[in-house]
Amino acid sequence: MGAQKKGATRVSEDADALSRQPLQAVLLADSFATKFRPITLERPKVLLPLVNVPMINYTLAWLESAGVEEVFVFCCAHSRQVIDYLENSEWYSQPNFLVRTIQSHDSVSAGDALRVIYERNVIHGDFVLISGDTVSNMLLTQALQEHKERKKKDNNAVMTMIIKRSKPSPITHQSRLGTDELFMAIDTSTKQLLYFEDKADHSRGTISLDKTLLAENPSIVLHNDKQDCYIDICSPEVLSLFTDNFDYQHLRRHFVKGLLLDDIMGYKIYTHEIHSSYAARIDNYRSYDIVSKDIIQRWTYPYVPDVKFCGNRATKLERQGMYRASEIVQSCSSQIGPFTVIGNGTKIGNDTKVSNSVIGEGCTIGSNVSIEGSYIWDNVTIEDGCELRHVIVCDWVILKAGAVLKPGVVLSFKVVIGQGFVVPAYSKVSLLQQPTVEDSDEELEYVDNSSGTVEISSIRGTADKLNGEMTSQSSETHESELGSGGVGYIWSICEGGHEEEWRHSIAPIPADKLAEITQTTDDDHELLTQDGTALPPSGELKSDSFSNLSEDDEMEDSKDDSAYFEKEVEATFLRAVHENVKVEHVILEVNSLRLSYNMTSSDCAGAIFYSMMKLSLETPHASASELLQSATNVISTWQRLLKSYLPETDEQIEVILKFEEMCLESGKEFSPLFALILQHLYDKDLIEEDAILTWANEKEGADESDKVFVKQAEKFIQVRNNVNIFYS
């Protein structure tokens, strides 16, 4: 489709060699969950915009590029909307990519869906099982080949799960996607999955493994640093297993665990780990935020805003990760910050600031508006003086003048926020009253006959039929709950749900929460380690004699983590530059990222310095002297930020090494300025002479090519050595 026309290469698959049957896929267009309420009461999750493109388009575009020839899209809640969208899209006109829909109003789980697929008798060979909220650019060839070869040798090898390394935060026990820490036991020699636990009890600090599992599998390694990508290659037997076992509802909690515990049938599940490719499922609002950032930062190429695929409007990529559509109206005094996408037909008023955000099509944004880290969908009106930080605003919402949305707020379709009204943090606001029972199949009752944007009036009429399952509120409360002229209901947070709100929100975890969790974790760890029962904080758990991991794979995964971390720090730094954020607040944000990615002070120092020098490089300059001036200005302005991560010599050496790396690779213009900038770092007390001399001494036995910058700084180093000799 479009992605291939713009430079994306179709995955090279020899279909005849892999299978006599055309490769098929089952795409679940229903998550059977309630995490995106209240939005999904009005529109199916797979049609929600992800960087201005419906989620399902990313999944279909990847399936097409991966060599899948026939996709069965299973539709349940809001099935009519999904079917209408697909029938009117380009997906129905692709010559070698057949998209079919299967509709069911009785299915309330993934297990029910797969039982319906089995009854329809449409799957005739191995197939890809995927959810319509998954983004990937991985090559499927190797994983598919491994699955088929295993199947030839062992008919019980029925499933291959795609996984990726992702270190959880040792503080929150969450992945960067906001999902719970996952424990997997894998046989490193065969890649067979032997244990799976996604709901571990961290308060106990232990997990239970069957002794026979360890005795019978000498190559077993227990991981807590793997991410389930929710992409599975399945044999047809998987469908019949669901049909034979009606207890299988959830794909992982029931089916995967059930097969692993079943000693009678002997079915086996294997894993395929990807390293440099991308794959992630949008499970909650935090993962929505993270995957959106990954798309903007181009980890998902070719599925990025400036490449046309599946009928999207390609936007122009500008410096510092800014994407702007061609037909926008922007005031000269407005400021568009880094890592921001502005959709077609949007108007932005005077002195408005937008950074790290996605703005949809046809939006009208007034003057003196501040938007940070937010997702504004289509046709939204934001009047003068509004403030939005880390929020989601759905189609046709109106924010009257001076309205403020605190971090974590979600405004569903056509909500109106009154003038000057402050919506509290983590609030969810909808035109629909809040159901009293959070049941995933309740969305089935909100059936509408429209396509695209849902008509609120028809949904509200349907909602009235729930007879007591909705919270009763008077019309007077409705009018005043959101300020003067406001329209909508603020949903209450259910008992015990406050922790889930900030854990799964698009807003960064508040500093006070992190401090509270850290203290609790330290206290628990101290108690548990007294009897030696605590789990070690490393990425994997294994016996000394059981390790057989590839060092190359570990290094590759570590590079992935570091790259993501550096991108996040860069985005944070650029936002601070453009919005004059106080250094104290930047430090809090970087510390939050440090905990999330399990990084060190050296990692933070290197990432901040890299961001500073990259900003200098991207500042317009006509000569080397102007570049030097730009670099020294940035260092002087932000020296307190950098200094806070340079407590010891090791961190200072990391900055020097990072600068060396830049001069050789991404910032070669800095090469002739290396010694001068090093001198400036020394003059500002950021780099001490011990760090410089240690760095130089470590280069003594190196090749000449590795000593280029030591020689360039030779005079400076000699002076410092002479001073040391004089005082010794």
**Using one digit for the tens of pLDDT, what is the confidence trace for 664-676?**
887 888 888 888 8
Both 448 and 590 in one domain: the answer is no
Q: Which of 77-81, 410-414, 477-481 has the highest mean pLDDT?
A: 410-414
Q: How far apart are CA 310 and CA 590, in angstroms?
A: 36
CATH of the domain at 607: 1.25.40.180
Give domain status of residue 571, yes or no.
yes
Confidence of residue 33 (pLDDT cuts 50, 70, 90): confident
Give domain status of residue 517, yes or no.
no
Q: In terms of pLDDT, which residue wins out, 360 or 223?
A: 360
Residue 359: per-residue pLDDT: 96
Give me the phi and psi of 389, to 5 degrees please: -130, 115
Both 65 and 121 in one domain: the answer is yes
Is the pLDDT reported for residue 455 higher than 60? no
User: What does pLDDT average to over the chain?
Assistant: 80
Q: How far apart are CA 633 and CA 106, in angstroms?
A: 64
CATH of the domain at 443: 2.160.10
Of 35-49, 222-236, 492-506, 529-543, minimum mean pLDDT range:
529-543
Q: In terms of pLDDT, which residue wins out, 314 or 254?
A: 254
Is the pLDDT reported for residue 51 higher than 90? yes
Is the pLDDT reported for residue 496 higher than 60? no
Confidence of residue 471 (pLDDT cuts 50, 70, 90): very low
Is the pLDDT reported for residue 446 higher than 50? no
Is the pLDDT reported for residue 350 higher than 70? yes
Both 208 and 78 in one domain: the answer is yes
Tokens representing residue 682 in the block: 């020394």
Give domain status of residue 66, yes or no.
yes
Average pLDDT over residues 712-724: 68
Q: What's the angle, vertex CA 227, arms to CA 223 and CA 231, rounded to 5?
A: 125
Q: In terms of pLDDT, which residue wins out, 385 or 699?
A: 385
Is the pLDDT reported for residue 153 higher than 50? yes
Residue 203: per-residue pLDDT: 52
Task: Sort residue 500 into left (φ over 0), alpha (ψ -120 to 50) or beta.
Answer: alpha
Of 312-316, 323-327, 330-334, minimum mean pLDDT range:
312-316
**Using one digit for the tens of pLDDT, what is the confidence trace for 621-656?**
888 888 999 999 999 999 899 998 998 888 888 888
Number of DSSP helices (H) and strands (E) in the chain, helices first:
24, 36
Both 186 and 224 in one domain: the answer is yes
Is the pLDDT reported for residue 560 higher than 70? no
Is the pLDDT reported for residue 14 higher than 70? no
Inter-CA distances, 378 with 109, 345, 393, 450, Å = 31, 10, 9, 17
Give domain status of residue 525, yes or no.
no
Percent of the chain with pLDDT over 70: 79
Average pLDDT over residues 503-509: 81
Range of the structural domain that residue 461 is part of: 314-504
Domain end call among 253, 288, 323: 288
Question: 194: helix, coil or strand?
Answer: strand
Both 255 and 372 in one domain: the answer is no
Residue 701: per-residue pLDDT: 67
Residue 692: per-residue pLDDT: 85
Tokens representing residue 501 in the block: 């709100």
Residue 622: per-residue pLDDT: 86
Both 84 and 221 in one domain: the answer is yes
Confidence of residue 395 (pLDDT cuts 50, 70, 90): very high
Give domain status of residue 176, yes or no.
yes
Confidence of residue 568 (pLDDT cuts 50, 70, 90): confident
Average pLDDT over residues 570-590: 83
Number of domains in the chain: 3
Average pLDDT over residues 339-343: 92
Both 146 and 205 in one domain: the answer is yes
Both 243 and 341 in one domain: the answer is no
Give domain status of residue 445, yes or no.
yes
Average pLDDT over residues 136-164: 92
**Using one digit for the tens of pLDDT, what is the confidence trace for 681-700?**
988 889 888 888 888 887 77
**Using one digit for the tens of pLDDT, what is the confidence trace for 125-137?**
999 999 999 999 9
Both 347 and 269 in one domain: the answer is no
Is the pLDDT reported for residue 50 higher than 50? yes
Residue 574: per-residue pLDDT: 86
Residue 443: per-residue pLDDT: 52
Average pLDDT over residues 226-237: 92
Is the pLDDT reported for residue 522 higher than 70? no
Give domain status of residue 510, yes or no.
no
Is the pLDDT reported for residue 514 higher than 90? no
Both 320 and 283 in one domain: the answer is no
Rg, the chain, Cα only: 27
State the helix-helix crossing angle for 624-637 and 674-683, rounded to 10 degrees: 30
Residue 417: per-residue pLDDT: 95
Average pLDDT over residues 423-450: 68
Domain end call among 472, 504, 536: 504
Q: How far apart are CA 586 and CA 572, in angstroms?
A: 7
**Using one digit for the tens of pLDDT, what is the confidence trace for 158-193?**
999 999 987 777 667 777 787 788 888 888 889 999
Residue 270: per-residue pLDDT: 94
Of 399, 392, 473, nearest to 432 (Cα)? 473
Inter-CA distances, 68 with 8, 12, 230, 342, Å = 16, 11, 17, 32
Both 330 and 379 in one domain: the answer is yes
Neighbour-count burial of 677, counting CB atoms closer than 10 A to its CB (0-12 exposed, 13-18 middle, 19+ buried): buried
Of 4-13, 139-148, 316-325, 327-336, minimum mean pLDDT range:
4-13
Residue ranges with strand state E in 52-108: 53-54, 70-75, 98-103
Inter-CA distances, 80 with 48, 104, 134, 163, 447, Å = 15, 10, 21, 33, 8
Average pLDDT over residues 60-72: 93
Both 465 and 347 in one domain: the answer is yes
**Using one digit for the tens of pLDDT, what is the confidence trace for 291-305?**
999 999 888 989 999
Give domain status of residue 339, yes or no.
yes
Domain end call among 254, 288, 322: 288
- Is the Cβ–Cβ distance between 387 and 421 less than 8 Å? no
